[in-house]
Chains A and B, each alone.
Chain A
Amino acid sequence: MKFFDCNCYFGHVGLPAFRYASNSDELVNELDFCGTDKALVYHSSMRFDSPIVGNKVILEEVKNKPNLIPTWAVLPFQTNELARTGDEFLEEMKRNNIKALRAFPDEHRYFLNELTFGELFELMEDKSIPLLIRSNWEAASNLLKSFKKLIIVVTSHGPHPQDRYFRPLLEKYENLYIDTSSYLLDRGIESLVEIFGYKRILFGSGYPENYIGSSLLRVAQAEIDEDAKKAIAYDNLDSLIRGVKL
């Protein structure tokens, strides 16, 4: 089975994991160790330093590594740190072959809402660019209310299972996706697939916050149809990336 990881990063952090990939070579080695075929990655500096730094570092790091697909982090245009307008930002994305964006509203201290990101998110809706967010369900819920077509992937929503928060959102908003990195719940994937189908679940490891092997074995041994399993492991994310119209 092939695996495409939507949620992993490399690079140094202040309080690092006991083991982690400090650069893209080490990440490729760890992916090979686990049998992950491809990963949608970010660099630690995009999250823990600044996207001003990290969005450049990631491009250098993934050169000549075709199985590492880079992403960028967003900041409000009003501070003029990354770009002045959405069009300008998307032009830069196109030039650098960036197919997905990430938001870290807690680390970067902004409101993840229409007021702050209306212009960009409307353009992303139009171009089918996925937004991967790392935030709690309250913020995700507010965003979903405003943007009905924006592809929103909520990652690292754990560790305690939070189905009572997010299942109503999955029911109401077809543009909501979740990753498996922190979905530890026993029989959770099986139950989600039965009720909501398999198309909005993406394999994510959360590495190096979590072990790649945890989510990997969980998905590989989920008690669901083989087609559903393959889709979660690889095809769902692959389709999202292929569907970007930049």
Chain B
Amino acid sequence: MNNPSILAKEFMNNGFSLNCPIIDVHGHLGPYVGIYMPSSNINLMIRTLKRCNVRCIICVPHATIIDPQGGNELMQKTIDKYKGMFLGYWMINPNRRDLIEKDLQNFEKTRGFVGFKFLADYHTYPITGKNYIPALEYANEKKLMILIHTWGGSQFDSPKMLGSIAEKYTNINFVMGHSGFGDWETSVKLAKELPNVYLELTAVWASHDFSMQVKGSGSPVPFLSFLHVNGIIEYIVERAGSKKILFGTDLPWYSPHYAAGAILFSHISDEERHDIFHRNAERLLSKFL
């Protein structure tokens, strides 16, 4: 192996680096409708986290997609039970306006929630729509973080749409889940130009060819495919800068080792890898860690 990275050698030999913990800003909990996941068993998920030296993961349970109330309660229980290892995003379902007002009234009473999650492609409601406004205004006032699933070409959460709300709500740190997969040019431009926009790497390191999958992406709206991702880490680091990139896995979907391998064997420096794996998240989440 000619890769000069000390971190790559440590991960290959040990599975982790003591000097480079991981903070995963994009996780879930529990089983999921369309995919078998061994790590939906939380004990196995924790085993994975420990094997990779993941210091902390910020999650939103799959259950929140159809039942935000029940799912958010599960997240609270998990945060309380596994103190320090789990933080949460409070899922906002824009189709449940009856719940949003109550959510916002009670948010300050919650423990370990860093902000909100918007999953607009799955709720088939645009992030620029009026039902999201109360949550955006609240998050802006309280200076919260919002993880938004973003995907290139989406009519609900495209990078361009994210840009329009990020410019308006400047106190919110917007984490672009999947870095606007496929529309890389718009995404890196936003992350470079807007101080409150961060690129999150879940699935970015994996080729997506939904034509290979029976019934496509299986999501409520078809997702854009993008075949060749080798070099995407270098592209993002070069254009947006390593300080605007956060590590994520969708765990229990994807293996942190699979995700980390892309970063460790990309042609960037170990300093940039430290930024991505933990330093940027440590800076953003300092009051929670």
Which residues A100-159 have CB closer than 8 A to chain B?
A: 106, 134-138, 156-159
Q: Which of A56-64, A72-80, A160-168, A236-244 forms part of the interface with chain B? A: A160-168
Is B211 a contact of A214 with CB atoms below 8 Å? no
Is A216 a contact of B214 with CB atoms below 8 Å? no
Does A220 interact with chain B (Cβ within 8 Å)?
Answer: yes
Chain B residues within 8 Å of chain A by Cβ, number: 57
Does A13 interact with chain B (Cβ within 8 Å)?
Answer: yes
Q: A223 CA to B228 CA in the complex, in Å?
A: 28
Name B262's contact: one of A135, A191, A213 (CB within 8 Å). A213
Q: Which residue of A lies closest to B267 (CB)?
A: A19
Which residues does chain B contribute within 8 Å of A19, judged by CB atoms? 230-231, 234, 267
For the complex formed, measure the closest distance between the CB of A62 and the CB atoms of chain B, giving whole angstroms. 20
Known contacts A17-B229, A217-B11: A161-B36 contact under CB 8 Å: yes
Is A185 a contact of B253 with CB atoms below 8 Å? yes
Is B36 a contact of A164 with CB atoms below 8 Å? yes
Chain A residues within 8 Å of chain B by Cβ, number: 52
For the complex formed, measure the closest distance between the CB of A224 and the CB atoms of chain B, giving whole angstroms. 12
Q: Which residue of A lies closest to B219 (CB)?
A: A160
Q: A210 CA to B203 CA in the complex, in Å?
A: 11
Known contacts A136-B214, A210-B229, A218-B257: A185-B205 contact under CB 8 Å: no
Is B234 a contact of A18 with CB atoms below 8 Å? yes
Is A209 a contact of B232 with CB atoms below 8 Å? no
Q: A30 CA to B66 CA in the complex, in Å?
A: 44
Which residues B1-16 have CB closer than 8 A to chain A?
A: 1-3, 8, 11-12, 15
Is B229 a contact of A209 with CB atoms below 8 Å? yes
Name B261's contact: one of A164, A185, A217 (CB within 8 Å). A217
